A and B are shown apart, each in its own frame.
Chain A
Amino acid sequence: MDSEDDDFYSGEAMDDENDYYNTDDAAYADGYDDEDEDDDDDDYEFMEEVDEEYVSRQQQSYTVLKEEDIQQRQEDDITRVSTVLSISRVDASILLRQYNWSVSRVHDAWFADEDGVRKSVGLLDKPVFQFSNAKELTCGICFEPYTRDKVMSAACGHPFCCTCWKGYISATVNDGPGCLMLRCPDPSCRAAVGQDMINMLASDDDKEKYTRYLRRSYVEDNRKGCLRYHLKHEPYLPSDCCYIHFVYCQTKWCPAPGCDYAIDFAAGGGTFDVSCLCSHSFCWNCTEEAHRPVDCGTVSKWILKNCAESENMNWILANSKPCPKCKRPIEKNQGCMHMTCSPPCKFEFCWLCLGAWSDHGERTGGFYACNRYESAKQQGDYDETERRREMAKNSLEKYTHYYERWASNQSSRQKALADLHQMQTVHLEKLSDTQCTPESQLKFIIEAWLQIVECRRVLKWTYAYGYYLPEHEHAKRQFFEYLQGEAESGLERLHQCAEKELQQFLNDDSPSKEFNDFRTKLAGLTSVTKNYFENLVRALENGLADVDSHAACSKAGISKPPPASKGKSGRGKGSGRSSGSHDAGR
Chain B
Amino acid sequence: MQASRARLFKEYKEVQREKSADPDIQLVCDDSNIFKWTALIKGPSETPFEGGVFQLAFAVPEQYPLQPPQVRFLTKIFHPNVHFKTGEICLDILKNAWSPAWTLQSVCRAIIALMAHPEPDSPLNCDSGNLLRSGDTRGYQSMARMYTRLAAMPKKG
A interface residues (Cβ-Cβ under 8 A, vs B): 140-144, 163-164, 167-168, 171, 185-187
Q: A187 near B6 (CB under 8 angstroms)?
A: no
B66 near A168 with CB under 8 A, answer: yes
- Whether A141 and B93, one on each chain, are in contact in the complex, defined by CB atoms closer than 8 angstroms, is no
Within the complex, what minimum Cβ distance (angstroms) separates A175 from chain B? 9
- A143 contacts across to B, CB distance below 8 A: 7, 10-11, 14
Number of residue pairs A-B, CB distance < 8 angstroms: 36
Check B99 for interface membership: any CB of A closer than 8 A: yes
Known: A167-B66, A171-B63, A171-B66. A186 touches B99 (CB 8 A): yes
Within 8 A of A (CB), among B62-110: 63, 65-67, 93, 99-102
Q: When A and B form their complex, which 3 residue pairs have the shortest distance between CB atoms, in order from nearest?
A: A171-B66, A143-B10, A187-B99
Point out the residues of chain B lying under 8 angstroms from A142, CB to CB.
3, 6-7, 10, 65
- 5 example contacts (A-B, Cβ-Cβ < 8 A) are as follows A142-B3, A142-B7, A142-B65, A143-B7, A171-B67
Query: A168 and B100 in contact (CB under 8 A), knowing A141-B65, A163-B3, A187-B93?
Result: yes
What residues of A have a CB within 8 angstroms of the CB of B65 in the complex?
141-142
- Measured in the bound complex, the distance between the Cα atoms of B101 and A141 in whole Å is 5
- CB A201 to nearest CB in B, in angstroms, measures 14
A187 to B65, CA, bound (A): 13
Are B6 and A185 in contact (CB-based, < 8 A)?
Answer: no
Q: A352 → chain B, closest Cβ, in Å? A: 58
B6 / chain A contacts, CB cutoff of 8 Å: 142, 144
Q: How far is the CB of A139 from chain B (nearest CB, A)?
A: 9
B7 contacts which chain A residues (CB < 8 A)?
A: 141-143
Chain B contacts to A: CB under 8 angstroms: 3, 6-7, 10-11, 14, 63, 65-67, 93, 99-102
Cβ contacts under 8 Å, A187 to chain B: 93, 99, 101-102
Beyond the given A141-B7, A143-B14, A164-B100, could you list 7 further A-B residue pairs with CB under 8 A, ordered by the A residue number? Answer: A142-B10, A142-B65, A144-B10, A167-B100, A171-B63, A185-B101, A187-B99
**Chain A residues in 8 Å Cβ range of B3:** 142, 163-164, 167
Docked pose: A140 CA to B3 CA in angstroms? 13
| C-alpha gap A44/B102 in the complex (Å) | 72
Residues of B with C-beta under 8 A to A140? 101
Asked if B10 contacts A185 (CB within 8 A), the reply is no
CB-CB < 8 A to B63: which residues of A?
Answer: 171
Name the residue of chain B whose CB is nearest to the CB of A183.
B99
Residue of B with least CB distance to A158: B101
Residues of chain B contacted by A171 (CB below 8 angstroms): 63, 66-67
CB distance from A86 to the nearest CB of B (A): 31
CB distance from A178 to the nearest CB of B (A): 8
A141: which B residues are within 8 A, CB to CB?
7, 65, 100-101
A186: which B residues are within 8 A, CB to CB? 99, 101
Question: Which A residues are CB-close (under 8 A) to B67?
Answer: 171
Give the distance in Å from the alpha carbon of A370 to the alpha carbon of B10 in the complex: 89
Contacts of B14 in A (CB 8 A): 143
Minimum Cβ distance to chain A for residue B61 (Å): 11
- The closest CB in chain B to the CB of A164 belongs to B100
Query: Nearest Cβ in chain B — how far from A192, in angstroms?
Result: 14
A185 to B7, CA, bound (A): 16
Q: Smallest CB–CB gap between A53 and chain B, Å?
A: 50
Rounded to whole Å, the gap between the CB of B21 and the closest CB of chain A is 16
A172 and chain B: residue at smallest CB distance: B66
The interface residues of chain A lying within 8 Å CB-to-CB of B102 are 187
Q: Contact check: which of B11, B93, B100 meets A185 at CB < 8 Å?
A: B100
CB-CB under 8 A from B93, the residues of chain A are 187
**Least CB distance, A278 to chain B, in whole angstroms:** 36
- Cα A500 to Cα B100 in complex, Å, equals 69
Q: Looking across the interface, which residue of chain B has its beta carbon closest to that of A170? A: B66
- Give every chain B residue within 8 A of A167 (Cβ-Cβ): 3, 66, 100
- The residue on A at minimum CB distance from B9 is A143
Complex Cα–Cα for A163 and B67 (A): 15
Bound complex: CA A302 to CA B100 (Å): 50
* CB nearest neighbor in A for B93: A187
Most buried by A among B7, B10, B67, B100: B100
What is the CA–CA distance of A186 and B102 in the complex, to the nearest angstrom? Answer: 8
Bound-complex Cα distance A144 to B6 (A)? 9
Docked pose: A64 CA to B63 CA in angstroms: 43
Minimal beta-carbon separation of B98 from chain A (angstroms): 9
How far does the alpha carbon of A185 sit from the alpha carbon of B106 in the complex, in Å?
14
Cα-based distance from A185 to B67 in the complex (angstroms): 12
B107 CB → nearest A CB, Å: 11
Question: CA of A144 to CA of B10 in the docked complex: distance in angstroms?
Answer: 8
Of A143, A168, A185, chain B has the most CB atoms within 10 Å of the CB of A143
CA–CA, A168 to B11, complex, Å?
19
B98 to chain A: closest residue by CB: A187
Q: Which residue of B lies closest to A174 (CB)?
A: B66
Closest B residue to A167 by CB, please name it.
Answer: B66
- B residues within 8 A CB of A185? 99-101
Q: How far is the CA of A179 from the CA of B10 in the complex (A)?
A: 28
A143 to B, closest residue via Cβ: B10
Inter-chain contacts of A168 with B (CB < 8 A) = 66, 100
Least Cβ distance of B64 to chain A in Å? 10
- Bound together, the chains give a CA A168 to CA B99 distance in angstroms of 9
Nearest CB in chain A to that of B97: its residue: A187
Shortest CB–CB separation between residue B12 and chain A, in angstroms? 11
In Å, the complex CA distance between A168 and B98 comes to: 11
Determine the residue in chain B with the shortest Cβ distance to A138: B10
For the complex formed, measure the closest distance between the CB of B70 and the CB atoms of chain A, giving whole angstroms: 16
B55 to chain A: closest CB distance in Å?
Answer: 25
Q: Which residue on B lies nearest to A169, using beta carbons? A: B66
Distance between B104 CB and nearest chain A CB, rounded to angstroms: 12
Task: Tell me the minimal C-beta distance from A173 to chain B in angstroms.
Answer: 11
How far is it, in angstroms, between the C-alpha of A139 and the C-alpha of B6 when the chains are bound?
13
Give A141 to B99 CA distance when docked, in angstroms.
9
| CB of A162 to closest CB in B, whole Å | 13
B101 smallest CB distance to A (angstroms):
5
- Residues from chain B with Cβ under 8 Å of A144 in the complex: 6, 10
Across the interface, name the chain A residue whose C-beta is closest to B11: A143
Q: What's the Cα separation between A187 and B11 when bound, in Å?
A: 18
Contacts of B101 in A (CB 8 A): 140-141, 185-187
| Inter-chain contacts of A163 with B (CB < 8 A) | 3
Bound: A142/B7 CA distance, A? 5
Kindly list chain B residues whose C-beta atoms are within 8 Å of the C-beta of A164: 3, 100
